[in-house]
Structure 1
Amino acid sequence: MMQVTPVLSQLPPRPDFEAMAAAAPASADRRTMILSLIGNLIVSWSNNESLFIYVLMILLDTDQPSAAIVFATLNTTRARLDLIQRLAKIRLKDPKLDKALSKLIDRFNRSTALRNEFNHCMYITDESGQITHTQSMRLVESREHLQFGISKPLDDVRLRSMVEAAKEMSNINRGIWDLLPQLQLHLQSTRP
C-alpha cells in the first residue's frame, strides 16, 4: 500500500493583532476615509440600481409593486438591465430617448465593475492596520497560468479615482431621475 504524504498549504504568517491594535489609532483617519469611500460607492451603486425599478415600471406600464416584483424575480443586475433594454427596443419610438437610456445603462455598467471590485475583494493591511491593498477574489486565467486575483495598491491615486467614481455615480443617479419623466411622457403620448 502506497503512503500519501499530505501537501501543506503555504499560509501567510498570522498577523500580529496586538501590534496592529496598538498602532491602529495613528492610521484611523485614513482608514475611516477609505471605509467611507467604499461605503459611499456601494450605497450609491445600490441606489442607482434600485432606480431602474422605476424605468421598468414605466416600460411595463404598471405600478411600482408589480415592477419591484419583476425586478426582484430577476436575480442578477445583468438580467434586469437586459430586460429593460429589450423592453426599450419595443416600447420607445424616440431614438434620442432610447440612446439616452442606453448611455445611462452603459455608465451604470462601468460603475458596476468598480462596485464589484470593492465588494468582492480582500483588504490587505500592514502592521499598523493601514489598508494598503485590495486583493481581487477573481481568478485570472491566461494561456500560461492561472492567477488568483490581482492585488492593487490603495494609494492616493486610487483614492482620488474612488472620489471621481462616487461623483459619477451621483451624476448617473441624477441622469436617471431626469430621464424618468421623459420616458413616462413619451410612453403616455404613444399609447393607443
Structure 2
Amino acid sequence: MPTRLPQKPDFEAIEAAAIDSADHRTVVLALIGNLVFSWSNNESMFIYVLMLLLETDEVSAAIVFATLNTTRARLDLVQRLAKAKIADKSAAETLDRLIARFNACTRVRNEFNHCMYTVSDRGEITHTHAMKIRESAGRLVLGEVRPVDEGRIRELVKTVEDLKILNRELWDFLPRLQASVRPSATQAGEAMPSA
C-alpha cells in the first residue's frame, strides 16, 4: 500500500554513528539553548516596561504580561501605552528602536523554536524545516527548509550576542523611561470625574 509518510529513520544506526558528530551537535544545541535563554530574559524585561507605563507594581505588570498570550500582543500593548504615556519624544523613539531590535531577534528565535530538525545518518543536525504554512505555486506547503551550515551558525552566534547587548540596553533604559512617563491624572492630584 503506497504511503505519503516519510521513511522512518534507522534510529539505532543514527545513534551509533552520532558519537562521531557529538561535538557539532553540542555546539548547535548549546547555541539554540543560549538563544532561548537570552530571548526569554529579554522578553521578560518588558514586564518592567509595562510596570512603568501602567504605573503599577511588578506583580500586576506580570499578570497583564502573562494574560496576553503572544509576544506580539505584549509588545503591541507596550507600544500603545508608550504613545499615551511617554512625554519625552526621544525616549519614545528609543523604546521603538529597542522593540524593533528585539523583533529582529524574535524572528531567529521563532525559526529555531518552531521547526522540525533534520538529522543526517551520522547524527548531525543538517537542516531546519519551518512549521509555518506558506503558499507556493498556488499550493499550501510546509515552511522553508534551511541548512544548519556555517552561515547559520554565525547567524545564531550574532543573534545571541545581539540579545546580550539588548538586555543591557533595556536595563539602562528603564530609569530614563521612568523619568519620561506622564503621571496619571489621579497621581497628578486631579479629581476623578464623578458619575
Q: TM-score surpassing 0.5?
A: yes
Per the alignment, residue 23 of structure 1 pairs with 17
d(CA) in 2 for partners of 1:186, 1:41: 31
Query: Is 1:63 aligned to 2:51, yes or no?
Result: no
d(CA) in 2 for partners of 1:120, 1:38: 12
d(CA) in 2 for partners of 1:97, 1:8: 62
**Cα RMSD over matched residues?**
1.7
Q: 1:189 to 1:13 in 2, by over 3 A?
A: closer
Deviation of 1:186 after TM superposition, in Å, equals: 2.3
d(CA) in 2 for partners of 1:189, 1:66: 18
Per the alignment, residue 44 of structure 1 pairs with 38
Instruction: Give the 3-state SS of the residue equivalent to 1:15 in structure 2.
Output: coil
Q: 1:12 to 1:62 in 2, by over 3 A?
A: same
Deviation of 1:171 after TM superposition, in Å, equals: 1.4
Aligned residues: 186
Q: Is contact 2:39-2:163 (8 Å) kept?
A: yes
d(CA) in 1 for partners of 2:163, 2:63: 25
1:117-152 CA distances to partner (integer Å, 9 max, x unpaired)?
100100001101110000111111145322211110
d(CA) in 1 for partners of 2:73, 2:128: 28
d(CA) in 1 for partners of 2:126, 2:181: 50
Give runs of aligned pairs for residues 1-192 of structure 1, distance below 5 A. Answer: 8-142=2-136, 144-187=138-181, 192=188
d(CA) in 1 for partners of 2:76, 2:12: 49
Instruction: Give the 3-state SS of the residue equivalent to 1:9 in structure 2.
Output: coil
Per the alignment, residue 191 of structure 2 pairs with none
Structure 2: runs of 5+ lacking an equivalent: 189-195
d(CA) in 2 for partners of 1:91, 1:189: 8
1:157-188 CA distances to partner (integer Å, 9 max, x unpaired)?
11011100111111111111111011112237
Instruction: Give the 3-state SS of the residue equivalent to 2:117 in structure 1.
Output: strand
Q: Which runs of 4+ in 1 moved over 4 A?
A: 188-191
Q: Is contact 2:17-2:122 (8 Å) kept?
A: yes
